[in-house]
Amino acid sequence: MKQPRASLDPPPGYERLNRYSRIIVDEALCRGIAVELLDPTAGEMVLSLGDRRMSTLESLSELTSAVAFRRCDHKGYTREVFARAGLRVAEGTIATFDQRDEAFLATWHDIVVKPVRGEQGRGITVGVVSPQELAVALATASATCPEVLLERRCEGEDLRVVVIGAEVVAASVRRAPVVVGDGASTIATLTEELSAARLLATDGSSHVPVDDITEAVVRSAGYRLDEVLPEGTQLAVRRTANLHTGGTIHDVTDELHPDLRAVALAAAAAVGAPVLGLDMIVPSVAGPDYTLIEANERPGLANHEPQPTVARFVDLLFPETARPRP
Ligand SMILES: Nc1ncnc2c1ncn2[C@@H]1O[C@H](COP(=O)(O)OP(=O)(O)O)[C@@H](O)[C@H]1O
Ligand SMILES: [Mg+2]
Pairing of strands 157-164, 168-175: antiparallel
Greatest Cα-to-Cα distance within the chain, rounded to the nearest angstrom = 69
The rounded distance, in Å, linking the Cα atoms of 242 and 279 is 10
DSSP state of 89: B
pLDDT at residue 3 above 60?
no
**Distance from the alpha carbon of residue 241 to the mean position of ligand 2, in angstroms:** 8
Going by C-alpha positions, the residue among 15, 52, 59 that lies closest to residue 37 is 15
The 10 Å Cβ neighbour count of residue 213 is 22
Nearest-CA residue for atom 27 of ligand 1: 240
CB 159 within 8 A of CB 172: yes
Q: Is 119 in the pocket of ligand 1 (CB under 6 A)?
A: yes
pLDDT at residue 34 above 70?
yes
Instruction: Please list all protein residues whose beta carbon sits less than 5 angstroms from ligand 2, which is an ion.
Output: 279
Nearest-CA residue for atom 13 of ligand 1: 240
pLDDT at residue 154 above 90?
yes
CB 158 within 8 A of CB 174: yes
60-90 burial, b for 16+ CB within 10 Å, e for fewer? bbebbeeebeebbebbeebbebbeeeebebb
Query: Could you say which ligand is closest to the alpha carbon of residue 112?
Result: 1
User: What would be the CATH architecture of the domain defined by 91-153?
Assistant: 2-Layer Sandwich (3.30)
- Ligand 1 pocket test, pick from 240, 249, 291 with the greatest ligand atom count within 8 Å of Cβ, gives 240
**Distance from the alpha carbon of residue 293 to the mean position of ligand 1, in angstroms:** 6
Q: Is 194 in the pocket of ligand 1 (CB under 6 A)?
A: no
Residue 122 alpha carbon, nearest atom of ligand 1: 22
Which CATH superfamily groups domain 63-90+155-176+242-326?
ATP-grasp fold, B domain (3.30.470.20)
pLDDT at residue 326 above 80?
no
How buried is 286 (Cβ within 10 angstroms: 0-12 exposed, 13-18 middle, 19+ buried)?
A: exposed
pLDDT at residue 300 above 90?
yes
DSSP state of 35: E
Nearest-CA residue for atom 14 of ligand 1: 121
Q: What is the mean pLDDT of residues 159-165?
A: 97
Going by C-alpha positions, the residue among 123, 154, 122, 153 that lies closest to residue 138 is 123
Task: Grade residue 4 by pLDDT with cuts at 50, 70 and 90.
Answer: low
Quick: pLDDT tens for 67-79: 999 999 999 999 9
Q: Is the pTM of this model over 0.75?
A: yes
Residue 296 alpha carbon, nearest atom of ligand 1: 21
Q: Give residue limits of the domains in the chain.
A: 1-58, 63-90+155-176+242-326, 91-153, 178-238
Q: Is 240 in the pocket of ligand 1 (CB under 6 A)?
A: yes
Quick: pLDDT tens for 182-202: 999 999 999 999 999 988 888
The rounded distance, in Å, linking the Cα atoms of 87 and 79 is 9
Task: Grade residue 325 by pLDDT with cuts at 50, 70 and 90.
Answer: confident
Quick: pLDDT tens for 235-279: 999 988 888 888 888 999 999 999 999 999 999 999 999 999 999
pLDDT at residue 1 above 50?
no
